[in-house]
Chains A and B, each alone.
Chain A
Amino acid sequence: MINLHHVLTLAQQGPLLVRPGANEAAAAVDAATPHSLVNLVYLLAAVLFILGIKGLTHPRTAVRGNLTGAVGMLLAVLATVWQLDLLPIGVAAVAMAVGAAIGWFLAVKVAMTQMPQFVALFNGFGGLASLLVAGAETFAGFPGALNRHESAVAAGLTGLIGAVTFTGSMIAAGKLQELDAFRKPWSFPQQQLVNAALLSLCLLLTLVMAGGHGWPYWLIVAAASVLGVLLVVPIGGADMPVVIALLNSYSGLAAAAAGFVINNNVLIIAGSLVGASGLILTSIMCKAMNRSLANVLFGKMEIASDAPSADEVYGGKVKATSPDEVAMLLDGVQRVVIVPGYGLAVAQAQHSVRDLANLLEQRGVTVEYAIHPVAGRMPGHMNVLLAEADVPYDKLKEMDEVNPTMSQTDVAIVIGANDVVNPVADTDPKSPIAGMPIIHVDRARTVIVVKRSLSPGFAGIPNPLFAADNCLMLFGDGKKVIVELVAALKEAA
């Protein structure tokens, strides 16, 4: 049996770091041992991860980037398995086969509409795996560590971040799946005080671990698990893009912390990359809502008491329309902009919308899609849904690109979006969405809003757009209404 501690100690020293006094023959033997080779493979894997993530940020290189990351992972796993004895290889192989089969099954089965909860679930699994790795090391008394006090602190932090990631992600996934238990944001008085207390407890227990005790680890995990639940439970559906991006970042940081525990570079590097990427996405999402991260996590949506009520805004001014009427209106127009929101995903209307756009394009109409950065329940959700429905991605326009063209637009069709087209964001500085960048459909000649009812969006405020002179409401289920509209258009032709 190869002694793992010995193996790791050798591996960490590497071939180039010759200790003072070590004779050259011994150094040569070190350099020739397979374990310095293992570390070189880890370095190669880390480089491939960097190239992979870089590739994922450009449309032309994204597929290659993803494959590059996968090759890096394969190399890292092979190099790791190679260090094991025969029996553990068998055990690890069984576990890997089980995990790979489940992962493959889920990835093939998942519908694009379910992508947000899928990613949330996987973030959670990453956090759980990292906390279990640190837990195993705690039982083993940190065999891989040069300094067990430092490793104990790293383990405590891994337990903290990993457990928050795990339970927080499970709650987020439950909310996104619209499970009844998580449907309503839930909070209690002094919640932030309790959160602060739990966090302090975790950090205190980490210090106890530094003194050479293993037992506080599972207490940290328990307290952090509660903390993860309490942090995510009060957050509403429309803020989920921020939460998922943040949990994505945490799952990377948990892996990096686990890297400190077992003294492994590739974990530290890969984990930090993911941590950075998640943070960048988090900040993009916060900017798109004109809110700070603290406000999303801890703030409440406050509605000013003197804000106009729904009756005052809508009273007698909302005009309902029918698919036939809209079909007539679309006759002879030149430019149509479609603004999809989460309601499109709920109604699974992306394919019918594509049919509508194709029909209009056959008649020489220019059709574009205006995508708000926080439309949907995760960053980029709308783009994925429309790509699934074969909408070419050069038709998807970013908010800043489409807004200047709104005044030359004949008809804007809003499907299942509300707050992201609410002009109040610009006009009322006291509104909860004040300052949030919006898509200016109100500047189009005519706005058609496809919506089930006049119920408010996540911000809980009425939308004066619906009462505007140039706005027509097409009430009903998104998919059904669009299918009827397509039929009416064909009939009219």
Chain B
Amino acid sequence: MDLITAITIFSLAIFVGFEIITKVPPTLHTPLMSGSNAISGITVVGAILAVQTENGWLGSLLGFIAIVFAMINVVGGFLVTHRMLEMFQKKK
């Protein structure tokens, strides 16, 4: 993937983001934030790949720490979002 392809994907994804998030009711502001925060934990993919870098233990160590923090983000983010949304749901 060359730079132009990457920038194209980036620009289109930003537009997709703006288009799909049209009107967010205030009730969902906090869950949207914690849920999207969990998705930004996708960096865990890069962290897992970094563990296998050939250039020494330092890269792997950074990868290890990165996995821990990204996973806190992912698991904690999705779980707390679910907790909040369940509170909204049970009163239907």
A437 at interface by CB-CB < 8 Å:
no
Knowing A66-B81, A107-B83, the reply to whether A262 touches B69 (Cβ < 8 A) is no
Which residues 8-33 of B sit at the A interface, judged by CB distance below 8 A? 9-10, 13-14, 16-18, 20-33
Chain A residues with CB under 8 A of B77:
103, 107, 122
Contact B9 A92 (CB under 8 A): no
Contact A115 B30 (CB under 8 A): yes
Knowing A53-B35, A77-B44, the reply to whether A132 touches B53 (Cβ < 8 A) is no
Chain B residues with CB under 8 A of A52:
35, 39
A130 at interface by CB-CB < 8 Å:
yes
Contact B71 A100 (CB under 8 A): yes
Measured in the bound complex, the distance between the Cα atoms of B26 and A398 in whole Å is 8
Measured in the bound complex, the distance between the Cα atoms of B91 and A263 in whole Å is 45
Knowing A133-B63, A147-B3, A387-B87, the reply to whether A84 touches B52 (Cβ < 8 A) is yes
Contact B46 A261 (CB under 8 A): yes
Chain B residues with CB under 8 A of A270:
39-40, 42
Knowing A77-B45, A130-B43, A272-B13, the reply to whether A57 touches B22 (Cβ < 8 A) is yes
Chain B residues with CB under 8 A of A45:
42
Which residues 49-91 of A sit at the B interface, judged by CB distance below 8 A? 49-50, 52-54, 56-59, 62-63, 65-67, 69-70, 72-73, 76-77, 80-81, 83-85, 88, 91
A206 to chain B, nearest CB (A): 15
Chain A residues with CB under 8 A of B83:
107-108
Question: Secondary structure at chain A's binding surface: helix, strand, loop or mixed?
Answer: helix
Q: Chain B: which residue is nearest A398 at the CB level?
A: B26
Measured in the bound complex, the distance between the Cα atoms of B82 and A52 in whole Å is 13
Contact A269 B9 (CB under 8 A): yes
Which residues 271-302 of A sit at the B interface, judged by CB distance below 8 A? 271-281, 284
Measured in the bound complex, the distance between the Cα atoms of B3 and A387 in whole Å is 46
Measured in the bound complex, the distance between the Cα atoms of B68 and A70 in whole Å is 17
Chain B residues with CB under 8 A of A263:
1, 6
A322 at interface by CB-CB < 8 Å:
no
Question: Secondary structure at chain B's binding surface: helix, strand, loop or mixed?
Answer: helix
Question: Which of B28, B41, B42, B49 touches A56 (beta carbons < 8 Å)?
Answer: B28
List the count of A-B residue pairs having beta carbons below 8 Å apart: 390
B14 to chain A, nearest CB (A): 5
Contact A99 B78 (CB under 8 A): no
A217 to chain B, nearest CB (A): 11
A258 at interface by CB-CB < 8 Å:
yes
Chain B residues with CB under 8 A of A264:
45-46, 49
Contact B67 A96 (CB under 8 A): yes
B-contact 0/1 string along A1-22, CB 8 Å cutoff: 0011100100010000000000
Measured in the bound complex, the distance between the Cα atoms of B2 and A147 in whole Å is 8
Knowing A98-B71, A267-B43, the reply to whether A104 touches B33 (Cβ < 8 A) is no
Knowing A136-B62, A387-B88, the reply to whether A268 touches B52 (Cβ < 8 A) is no
B74 to chain A, nearest CB (A): 6
Chain B residues with CB under 8 A of A259:
6, 10, 46
Q: Chain B: which residue is nearest A399 at the CB level?
A: B26
Measured in the bound complex, the distance between the Cα atoms of B46 and A266 in whole Å is 10
A208 to chain B, nearest CB (A): 19
Contact A73 B39 (CB under 8 A): yes
Chain B residues with CB under 8 A of A279:
18
Measured in the bound complex, the distance between the Cα atoms of B58 and A373 in whole Å is 46
Q: Chain B: which residue is nearest A3 at the CB level?
A: B54
Contact B30 A384 (CB under 8 A): yes
Q: For the complex of A and B, list the 8 residue pairs with the smallest distance between their C-beta atoms, beginning with the closest.
A: A99-B71, A276-B17, A380-B29, A103-B76, A103-B75, A379-B29, A95-B67, A272-B13
Having A4-B54, A106-B72, one finds 13 other A-B pairs with CB under 8 Å, namely A56-B81, A63-B86, A95-B67, A99-B67, A108-B79, A133-B47, A136-B63, A255-B43, A273-B39, A276-B17, A276-B21, A379-B26, A379-B29
Can you report 30 residue pairs joining A to B where beta carbons are below 8 Å apart?
A: A3-B54, A4-B49, A4-B53, A5-B54, A50-B16, A53-B21, A62-B28, A70-B78, A84-B48, A103-B77, A104-B76, A107-B76, A108-B79, A115-B30, A118-B34, A122-B37, A123-B40, A126-B37, A126-B41, A130-B66, A139-B55, A140-B54, A248-B36, A259-B10, A261-B46, A273-B36, A284-B29, A378-B30, A387-B91, A398-B26
